[in-house]
A and B are shown apart, each in its own frame.
Chain A
Amino acid sequence: MIKRIVFALATLLCAATAQAQTVRMATTTSTANTGLLDYLLPKFRSRTGITVQYVAVGTGAALKIGEQGDADVVLVHDRESEEKFVAAGFGVKRRDVMYNDFVIVGAPADPAQIRGMKDAAEALKRIRAAGSAFVSRGDRSGTHLRELQLWRAAGVEPRWEGYYLSIGQGMGTALIMAYEKRGYTLTDRGTYLAYLKKTDLQIMVEGDSRLNNPYSVIAVNPSRHPSINHAGATRLIDWLTSDEGQRAIAGYKVGGAQLFFPSAK
């Protein structure tokens, strides 16, 4: 009996210490689909012994998870909702981590004739006018929110029967669906490059300043959720924004191309 109790306690203790060595992160599908996290987090682990478990959802959902204390830290990319998140007291220690950019990609046949355009909003207008398929993340992710801003800038209601495809899923799925439907989508460049071999999509529009895509890391406010691993979250943030972490981010390449650019100040 006593043996059993000791065993149970020991198990509990192990579980508890394991807990202390784990940081839960809620992040966007782009950081996971590009393979960045699976490259970065083992480096962090070998440095600190801390394992990071992440769920990859859209920015909106990631912030929601953080708000409810179901994650210790969030890595997201939508300035507006990040600021709201911090202002509402859900998060602390927001730091810039890295950036890349969005591009509009499409089927090689380019049915809406937007290849090479410099104005992203104008390009969307043309896609709508041509009635081409456009795949929308539709999941309140950072990419989706940016897409909606661009539609607003274009003055177009993004709804057209059967061709504006709102899928509520990650970037990888959206790219594959755009390929299957011979349509267009807005994607971060990183995920697009990581999926290069899986689709025949080509970059149609890039370089518009409205297509900049900065990522931040935010710790979930420990005073709201005392049980979260704030110390671990802080160490992750410090490492990501350290010289070592920033070099690691810059060093991540897919097919020879750098996907993310360090931006910690």
Chain B
Amino acid sequence: MDLLEPTRQAFALLFSGDRELWGIIWLSLWVSVAALALLAPLCVPLGFVVARIHFPGRRALVVAMQGFLSFPTVVVGLVLYLVLSRRGPLGAFELLFTPAAILIGYMVIALPILMVFTVAAVQGADSRIYETARCLGARPLRAMGTTLWEVRFAVTAGFVNAFGRVVSEVGCALLVGGNIAGLTRNIPTAIALETSKGEFAYGIALGFVLMVIAVGVNVALAWLQGEGGLE
């Protein structure tokens, strides 16, 4: 199998601004980012609460969340498929095979990751931060903000991790998105199916973009963390 020729074609495709190719890349990016943006206001405070407050079942919740970290995304896709199908409980919304279905899937996949990272970050923080903030007259919400700000690097690492997982997963996006050209075809599903068609150039181009995104996000994180990331 010749590897060079498809690679050359891949770069030609990328730099010629192939509309379909860039549309696929755009879909992957916006759905991943939107999933995380929608989850953030829910998961971060919730993670803080779970880390700080003792309530019955808390330990079971944390263990369950950690278990979900390694939950196969294709199973998330399967369950969601059954729920969203016209014959499923949420069938009336006709969401199966739409970008919204992928978005929901990504949220389900990312939720435990964000939770677990936030919980670990807050638990790892010096509990005196919160107490000091309270003593200085901060309301609980403000004190929570202070604590989260102190552990922002660890929380951000959760987002980077979650982003990496959703942007590269293929099982859920393929099942509930359906790989429809121009509608729900994203980078991983396109790579999987273009390769099965023998369209290697497309796969290589998209694989390259996926790697650039992954490395780029991590470099951005390191830059954001600055000196703090090294401590």
Q: Tell me the A residues contacting B by CB distance below 8 Å.
A: 57-58, 60-61, 64-65, 68, 138-140, 161-162, 165-169, 173, 177, 179-181
Contacts and interface: CB of A to CB of B under 8 A. Distances in A.
A65 to B, nearest CB: 8
A152 to B, nearest CB: 19
The bracket for how many chain B residues form the interface is: 10 to 19
Given A179-B86, A180-B85, A162 B183 contact: yes
A180 B179 contact: no
A168 B194 contact: yes
B193 A169 contact: yes
B178 A169 contact: yes
B96 interface: yes
Contacts of A169: 178-179, 193
A61 B178 contact: no
Contacts of B180: 165-167, 177
A61 B1 CA distance: 15
Given A162-B183, A166-B180, A168-B181, A177 B193 contact: no
A167 B181 CA distance: 6
B197 A180 contact: no
Given A173-B178, A177-B97, 17 more contacts: A58-B197, A60-B198, A61-B196, A61-B197, A64-B197, A64-B198, A68-B1, A140-B197, A161-B182, A165-B181, A168-B181, A168-B185, A168-B197, A169-B178, A169-B193, A177-B180, A180-B94
A109 B198 CA distance: 37
A155 to B, nearest CB: 22
A161 B198 CA distance: 26
Contacts of A138: 181
Interface string B149-185: 0000000000000000000000000000011111101
B106 to A, nearest CB: 20
Nearest to B94: A180
A180 B96 contact: yes
Contacts of B178: 165, 167, 169, 173, 177
Contacts, number: 51
Interface string B184-198: 010000000110111
Given A179-B86, A181-B97, A165 B183 contact: yes
28 contacts: A57-B196, A57-B197, A58-B197, A60-B198, A61-B197, A61-B198, A64-B198, A138-B181, A140-B197, A161-B182, A165-B97, A165-B180, A165-B181, A166-B180, A166-B181, A167-B180, A168-B181, A168-B185, A168-B194, A168-B197, A169-B178, A173-B178, A177-B180, A179-B86, A180-B85, A180-B86, A180-B97, A181-B97
Contacts of B194: 168
A204 to B, nearest CB: 19
Nearest to A141: B197
The 4 residue pairs across chains A and B that have the minimum distance between CB atoms: A64-B198, A166-B181, A168-B193, A165-B180
Contacts of A167: 178-181
A49 to B, nearest CB: 30
A140 B196 CA distance: 11
Contacts of A61: 196-198
B65 to A, nearest CB: 32
